[in-house]
Structure 1
Amino acid sequence: MVECADAAAAYSRIRARIEPALTEGIISTGVQGLGPLLGGGFVEGRTYLLLGAVSAGKTTFAIQFLLDGAHRGQRGLLLTTWESPADIVAHADRVGLDLREQVTRGNIIILNATPMLDELRRKGFTDPAHYDSYLTRVFGELSSHASRLNATRIAIDTVTPLMPIRKYDEVRMFISGLDRLGRVTTLITEELGLDGDTALEEYFVSGVIVLRKRSTEEETFRTLQVQKQRQAPHDPAPHRYTIERGAGIVVQ
């Protein structure tokens, strides 16, 4: 595990190369090399979708997003639907990211949504009354913790179990609920389908980033593509990226 002082020093060196100057209303993603592809960064107060294959780095990206805020004095909240908070922190340790320190300091809170999901499964996924009550509880938890923490960044990893009813109105209602949290910028992650079909969330979020794994006869590599970015020009071409210890995802 990287020592706290070493991690802080490493971040200071990396941060200077991420987004040297941010326009008002634009926040850094925390991912080195991504800002220029997005026209600067994420638009404050909007919701963004990160699609990715298994082991593409979605959780690492979400952690970097929150850590970037914490290092800038902005508190954040991570809602996990698969892994336990301890597993998320251990994941960050392996990559050399100082999530453990920021959680200890109270700058980042990790919420476990598993109990709510288990309750919904027992009551029935498709019952509209249960689903509406469930959504109200999810947003109540998010809003309460975000308000108490004074959070300006939220990451949901992964959003798939939170929307068991994959219908247009339900997905629109979920994303609209996130946008109504106020001046909170939200990143949601989701598994990338093997068939490449468009996820319903893509229609309602302000931006979409896709992480893919590619293979040729000579090599296997990863690519990042900004598929959508409202309110700012963006580079839609795929770019290679690596996952480096102490830095996380680095776009080449």
Structure 2
Amino acid sequence: MSKPALPRDDDEPEHLLQIGVPGFDDVLGGGLTAHRLYLLEGAPGAGKTTVAMQFLLQGAKCGEKVLYVTLSESTRELRGTARSHGWDLSGIEVREMLPAADALEPDEQSTLFHPSEVELGETTLKILADVDLLKPTRVVFDSLSELRLLAGGSLRYRRQILALKQFFAGRQCTVLLLDDMTAVQHDLQVHSIAHGVIRLEQLNSDYGSSRRRLIVTKYRGKEYRGGYHDYKIGRGGLEVFPRLVAAEHTPPLTQTRIPSGLHALDDLLGGGVEKGTSTLFVGAPGTGKSSVAVQFAVAAAQRGECAALFIFDESANTLRTRCEGMGMDLSPYLEAGTIKLRQVDPAELSPGEFVHSIRCAVTEHNAKVVVIDSLNGYLNAMPDERFLIVQLHELLTYLGQCGVATLLIGAQHGLIGMQMQTPVDASYLADSVVLLRYFEDGGEVRQAISVLKKRGGAHERTIRAFSMSSNGIHVGAPLRNFRGILTGVPVPIDVVQVSS
């Protein structure tokens, strides 16, 4: 009688382990497949040890036995790192595999055998013994550089990693190997062996804080979120900001108009701006672009909806003071939470964190109006200008699918004339474009507003007078007595008729 076949590892249902880092599981498609070996690599200072601690703390939180094997840092150093984040490592077993203090004594130096033949074997035996004794379900090796040096050669090093992989696979253990990438030549031996490979990167710009990002370069049998994802390290550990993919968010949407509260402005816009669309206010500095956008936010707050303002170019106090001077007091709405105001520092905030902040405003606070002031500041927040439009397209598509009215501010270079330029050409991305311009009239600088584009429906083709005072924003009658207003130096119609 034949014996029943033993269940293969392939037949076992895959169980995903949460890694314990906010946003990381989303990048990994839900987490790490249990009972596999993973490689986490990155230059010193990228945050590998912090991720490893969060991975083990998450396991300890779930009642698992976890083990931290350190070949480079002492237990005292690890506990110091944990205290800086406010963590307690009492639930983590730490094993030091550091050379003894007397290893430098001449009598301790071996002359008959190469160090790799002695130290590697001793280190491996100690690790395996601890695993058999503790029976952990999560193990971290920090770091592979020491094992690589002890192995002495590429072949011996690969065999050692393969042996460790087989050893842990038979003990239902998930292993995270850390590599600081200090080898002269980047060795891909572990890449081919590991079930998944994650790389942490730290970018140092010419000005501002360091930018950190990660990428999953390999994950067998699992669909994950590819590309680079920004992350930051603060007290409490890493926080990952997954790259936004607008195609993942496609809820049904019925477009409705959002009025501004100013009848003349709404008439110019054909009734207001539509939910799920983006509107670009473009013009020279001081023409009133930000004020008009804030007017929409105040109108939304008065209806009981939430609006979120992300400002790059001026401080929150300056904005509040300026709006109060025009009769738009933001304080009641800020206190009630119907207007969320965040001042963005381009030198400190990564693009991924900025997008994450907008997503939180939409998902957590149900913001219906989002103001980005300005695209010029958004451009400065990008480490590489080439990808600004791509990220902006994903962001606007996502907000549109969430039914959010997005208001963008674009400041032009120059004040008056036809040669004014916009550093970020997002006019083709926006559903509507509103132009605010200066023009000269009788020795006085006046302002005009017009709608150049609107995908959501019909709009006025007129150019209207525009002004701001202590009584608020005023949109006047169409300027039909002038020709050439967009040039900045218009000519009255009666003068044109006389000259002709």
Q: CA deviation at 1:172?
A: 4.0
How far the C-alpha of 1:178 sits from its partner, in A, is 2.5
Q: How far did residue 136 of structure 1 move?
A: 2.0
Q: Percent identity?
A: 24
Residues 71-108 of structure 1: CA distance to partner in whole angstroms, max 9, x if unpaired? 11111010010212122111111111121211121110
Relative CO higher for 1 or 2, CA cutoff 8 Å, sep ≥ 6? 1
Task: Output the CA distance in 2 between the equivalents of 1:55 and 1:197.
Answer: 16
| Matched residue type, 2:303 | R
Amino acid in the other structure paired with 2:306: R
CA 1:113/1:58 → structure 2, altered by over 3 Å: closer, same or farther? same
Distance across 2 between alignment mates of 1:38 and 1:95: 22
TM-score (structure 2 length as normaliser): 0.41
Alpha-carbon spacing, 1:45–1:226, altered in 2? closer, same or farther (3 Å): same
1:236 and 1:40 map into 2 onto residues whose CA distance is 14
Q: Secondary structure at the match of 1:183?
A: coil
What pairs up with 1:54-69 in 2 under 5 angstroms? 54-69=285-300
- Residue in structure 2 matched with residue 15 of structure 1 by the alignment: none
| Letter of the structure 1 residue corresponding to residue 339 of structure 2 | I
Q: Which residue, out of 406, 409, 418, partners 1:186?
A: 406
Q: Which whole-Å CA distance do the structure 2 matches of 1:110 and 1:73 have between them? A: 16
CA distance, structure 2, for counterparts of residue 83 and residue 202 of structure 1: 23
Contact persistence 1:31–1:65 (CA under 8 A): no
Distance between the aligned counterparts of 2:278 and 2:436, measured in 1?
Answer: 17
**One-letter code of the match for 2:437?**
R
Q: 1:249 to 1:53 in 2, by over 3 A?
A: farther
Task: Decide which moves more: 158-167 or 180-189.
Answer: 158-167
Task: Write out aligned runs for 1:90-169 (5 A).
Answer: 90-114=321-345, 117-119=346-348, 134-164=350-380, 165-167=384-386
Check the 8 A contact 2:308/2:370 in 1, yes or no: yes
CA distance in 2, matches of 1:63, 1:180: 22
Question: For the residues of structure 1 that align with 2:363 and 2:408, how far apart are their CA atoms?
Answer: 19
Residue type of the partner of 1:74? E
Letter of the structure 2 residue corresponding to residue 44 of structure 1: K
Q: Aligned partners of 1:93, 1:28: CA distance in 2, in Å?
A: 21
8 Å contact from structure 1 (residues 27, 44) kept in 2: yes
Return the alpha-carbon distance in structure 2 between the equivalents of residues 141 and 101 of structure 1.
22
1:146 is aligned with what amino acid? Answer: V
CA drift at 1:218: 4.1
Structure 2 CA distance for aligned equivalents of residues 87 and 36 of structure 1: 30
Name the counterpart of 1:196.
420
**What's the CA shift for 1:46?**
1.0
Offset, 1:24: 6.1
Instruction: Indicate if the aligned counterparts of 1:47 and 1:175 stay in contact, CA closer than 8 A.
Output: no
Q: How far has the Cα of 1:233 moved from its partner?
A: 1.3
> Which residue of 1 is the match for residue 191 of structure 2?
none
The corresponding residue for 2:180 is none
Distance in 2 (alpha carbons) for counterparts of 1:31 and 1:212: 19
State the alpha-carbon separation in 1 of the partners of residues 410 and 255 from structure 2.
29
1:163 is paired with a residue whose SS is: helix
Shift of 1:30: 3.4
Computing the radius of gyration over CA atoms, which structure comes out larger, 1 or 2? 2
Q: Aligned pair count?
A: 214
1:177 aligns with 2:395: yes
The Cα of 1:53 is off from its aligned counterpart by 1.4
Q: Aligned partner of 1:196: which letter?
A: M
The verdict on how the C-alpha distance between 1:241 and 1:79 changes in structure 2, with shifts beyond 3 A counting, is: same
- Give the TM-score taking structure 1 as reference length: 0.78
For 1:143, the aligned partner's letter is R
Contact 2:255 2:274 in 1 (8 A): no
Distance 2:329 2:348 in 1: 33
Give the drift of 1:135: 2.5
User: Does 2:260 align with 1:29?
Assistant: yes
Runs (5+) with no aligned partner, structure 2: 1-253, 478-500
Letter in 2 for 1:71: Q
Change (3 A) 1:70 1:172: same
After superposition, the Cα gap between the structure-2 partners of 1:251 and 1:103, relative to the gap in structure 1 and judged at 3 Å, is: farther
**Is the 1:31–1:61 Cα contact (8 Å) retained in structure 2?**
no
Q: CA deviation at 1:147?
A: 2.1
Conservation of the 8 A alpha-carbon contact between 1:81 and 1:113 = yes
Q: Alignment partner of 2:348: what SS?
A: helix
Amino acid at match of 1:214: F
CA apart distance, 1:246: 3.5
Residue 211 (structure 1) shift: 0.8
Q: Where does residue 206 of structure 1 map in the other structure?
A: 431
- The one-letter code sitting in structure 2 at the alignment partner of 1:29 is S
Give the letter for the 2:406 counterpart: T
Going by fraction, where is helix more abundant, 1 or 2? 1
User: Do the aligned partners of residues 237 and 166 (structure 1) sit closer, same or farther apart at CA in structure 2, a change above 3 Å counting?
Assistant: farther
Question: CA separation of 1:94/1:57 partners in 2, compared to 1, >3 Å: closer, same or farther?
Answer: same
- Quick check: 1:48 aligned with 2:279? yes
- Choose the corresponding residue for 1:217, options 442, 467, 474: 442
Contact 2:307 2:368 in 1 (8 A): yes
- Structure 1 residues without counterparts, runs of 5 or longer: 1-22, 121-133
Is the 8 Å Cα contact of residues 102 and 108 (structure 1) preserved in structure 2?
yes
Q: 2:465 aligns with which of 240, 247, 250?
A: 240
Shift, 1:217, TM fit: 3.3
Pairwise CA distance, 1:166: 4.8
Partner amino acid, structure 1, of 2:446? F
String of CA shifts for 1:188-238, please: whole Å, max 9, x gaps: 111123323465200111000011111133432110010111131122331
SS in 1 for 2:347: helix
Q: Bigger CA drift: 183-192 or 213-222?
A: 213-222
Range that drifts further, 216-225 or 68-77: 216-225
